Amino acid sequence: MKKKPIILGIESSCDETAASIITENEHGNPIILSNIVSSQVDVHKDFGGVVPELAARAHIEKIDLITQKAIEKSKVKLEDVDAIAATAGPGLVVCLSVGLSFAKALALSLNKPLIAVNHLEGHALSPRLNSKLNYPYLLLLISGGHTQFLDVQELGVYKRLGTTIDDAVGEAFDKTAKLIGIEFPGGPKIEEYAKKGDPNKYNLPKPILNKGGCNLSFAGLKTAVLKISKEIKTDQEKFDLAASFQKTIEEILLKKSKIAIKEFRNKYNKKEHTFVIAGGVAANKKIREVLINLCKEEDFIPIFPPINLCGDNAAMIALVGLEKSKIKKFDNLDYPVKPRWPLDKDAAFLKGAGVILK
Contact residues toward ligand KG4 (CB under 6 A) are: 14, 143-145, 170, 173-174, 185, 187-188, 191, 279-281, 283-284, 311-312
Shortest reach from residue 94's CB to Zn ion, in Å: 17
Provide the residue type at 110 as one letter.
L
Q: Per CB under 5 A, which region of 21-29, 100-108, 180-188, 309-317 contacts Zn ion?
A: 309-317
Shortest reach from residue 311's CB to ligand KG4, in Å: 3
Q: Is 40 a binder of Zn ion (CB under 5 A)?
A: no
* Closer by beta carbon to Zn ion, 124 or else 225: 124
Shortest reach from residue 11's CB to ligand KG4, in Å: 10
Instruction: Please choose which of ligand KG4, Zn ion, none residue 325 contacts, taking the beta carbon within 5 to 8 angstroms, the exact cut-off set by kind.
Output: none
Q: Which of 126, 143, 246, 325 lies at the binding interface for Zn ion (CB under 5 A)?
A: 143
* Closer by beta carbon to ligand KG4, 5 or else 52: 52
* Closer by beta carbon to ligand KG4, 35 or else 284: 284
Q: Provide DSSP, 4-26.
A: PP-EEEEE-SSSEEEEEEEEE-T
Contact 125, 279 (CB under 8 A): no
Ranges assigned E (strand) in the chain: 7-11, 16-24, 30-39, 83-89, 114-118, 137-142, 147-154, 157-163, 273-278, 300-303
String of b and e for 206-241 (b: at least 16 CB within 10 Å)? Answer: bbbeeebbbbbbbeebbebbeebbeebeeeebbbbb
Please tell me the distance from the alpha carbon of residue 200 to that of residue 241, in angstroms, as a whole number: 9
* Closer by beta carbon to ligand KG4, 212 or else 311: 311
Instruction: Please choose which of ligand KG4, Zn ion, none residue 173 contacts, taking the beta carbon within 5 to 8 angstroms, the exact cut-off set by kind.
Output: ligand KG4
Q: At what angle do helices 169-179 and 235-267 cross, to 10 degrees?
A: 170
Contact 219, 169 (CB under 8 A): no
Q: Can you say whether the dihedral through the CA atoms of 150, 170, 12, 55 is positive or negative? A: positive
Q: Which of 174, 250, 312, 331 lies at the binding interface for Zn ion (CB under 5 A)?
A: 312
Shortest reach from residue 266's CB to ligand KG4, in Å: 29
**Burial bucket for residue 18 (CB in 10 Å: 0-12, 13-18, 19+):** buried
Please tell me the distance from the alpha carbon of residue 294 to that of residue 305, in angstroms, as a whole number: 18
Instruction: Please choose which of Zn ion, ligand KG4, none residue 174 contacts, taking the beta carbon within 5 to 8 angstroms, the exact cut-off set by kind.
Output: ligand KG4
Peptide bond into 185 cis (omega under 30): yes
Instruction: Please choose which of Zn ion, ligand KG4, none residue 257 contacts, taking the beta carbon within 5 to 8 angstroms, the exact cut-off set by kind.
Output: none
Shortest reach from residue 287's CB to ligand KG4, in Å: 7
Please tell me the distance from the alpha carbon of residue 276 to that of residue 300, in angstroms, as a whole number: 10
* Closer by beta carbon to ligand KG4, 162 or else 185: 185
* Closer by beta carbon to ligand KG4, 184 or else 300: 184
Contact 87, 122 (CB under 8 A): yes
Instruction: Please choose which of ligand KG4, Zn ion, none residue 187 contacts, taking the beta carbon within 5 to 8 angstroms, the exact cut-off set by kind.
Output: ligand KG4
Q: Is 118 a binder of Zn ion (CB under 5 A)?
A: no
Applying CB under 5 A, the residues found at the interface with Zn ion are: 143, 312
